[in-house]
């Protein structure tokens, strides 16, 4: 079974640590604890991963992000990516070729994924029902340490 993971982008980015950093690959941009744990989880239990950003939509590890931003879904900001853009990105990246999507976000992103018709026929949200980022991080750490998926 081929699996793709969808990771949250996160507020902390490389430019928060080093302001002079230029455009960078997605795999180097996001440095927050939750993002790093979801990435570790994805690298253990999925064949590939993408991030989901309110500004850039779905981005693969080698794509470039030019500079810092602070935007989350639901802000109703003109820079927020639209459902149509997300659908096109999902299709262009052939995310539907995977058998399963592990969506490593909470409720906030579930609505976004649902609004575009999902990622695959088997979308799994293992972090739903948690009581915040702390519990999400605990679940992820335990799964990584025990090598047992959530």
pLDDT digits (tens, 9 = 90+) for 33-78: 999 999 999 999 999 999 999 898 999 999 998 988 876 776 666 6
CATH code of the domain in which 131 resides: 3.40.50
Strands 48-53 and 57-60: antiparallel
Task: Determine the pLDDT at residue 32.
Answer: 92
Q: What mean pLDDT comes out for the span 1-27?
A: 91
Name residue, tokens 């906030």: 108
Q: What mean pLDDT comes out for the span 98-104?
A: 97
pLDDT of residue 107 exceeding 90:
no
Domain with 95, as residue range(s), is: 3-146
Instruction: Express each pLDDT in 51-62 by its tens digit.
Output: 999 898 999 999
Domain count, the chain: 1
Task: Determine the pLDDT at residue 74.
Answer: 66
Task: Determine the pLDDT at residue 18.
Answer: 86
The closest alpha carbon to 54, from 95, 105, 112, belongs to 112
Task: Determine the pLDDT at residue 67.
Answer: 84
Task: Determine the pLDDT at residue 68.
Answer: 82
The phi and psi torsions of 136 (rounded to 5 degrees) equal -60, -45
Asked whether the whole model's pTM tops 0.75, one would answer yes
The closest alpha carbon to 5, from 55, 54, 52, belongs to 52
Residues 52, 33: Cα–Cα separation, whole Å: 16
Alpha-carbon distances of 5 from 22, 46, 48, rounded to whole Å: 27, 6, 6
Name residue, tokens 């079974």: 1
């Amino acid at each position: 079974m081929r699996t793709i993971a969808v990771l949250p982008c996160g507020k902390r980015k490389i430019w928060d640590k080093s302001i002079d950093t230029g455009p960078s690959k997605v795999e180097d941009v996001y440095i927050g604890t939750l993002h790093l744990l979801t990435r570790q989880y994805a690298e253990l239990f999925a064949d590939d991963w993408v991030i989901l950003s309110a500004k850039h939509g779905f981005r693969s590890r080698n794509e470039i992000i030019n500079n810092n931003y602070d935007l989350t879904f639901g802000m109703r900001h003109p820079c927020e990516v639209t459902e149509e853009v997300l659908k096109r990105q999902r299709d262009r990246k052939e995310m539907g070729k995977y058998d399963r999507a592990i969506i490593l976000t909470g409720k906030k992103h579930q609505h976004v994924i649902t609004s575009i018709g999902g990622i695959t026929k088997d979308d799994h949200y293992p972090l739903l029902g948690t009581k915040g980022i702390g519990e999400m991080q605990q679940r992820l750490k335990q799964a990584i340490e025990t090598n047992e998926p959530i």
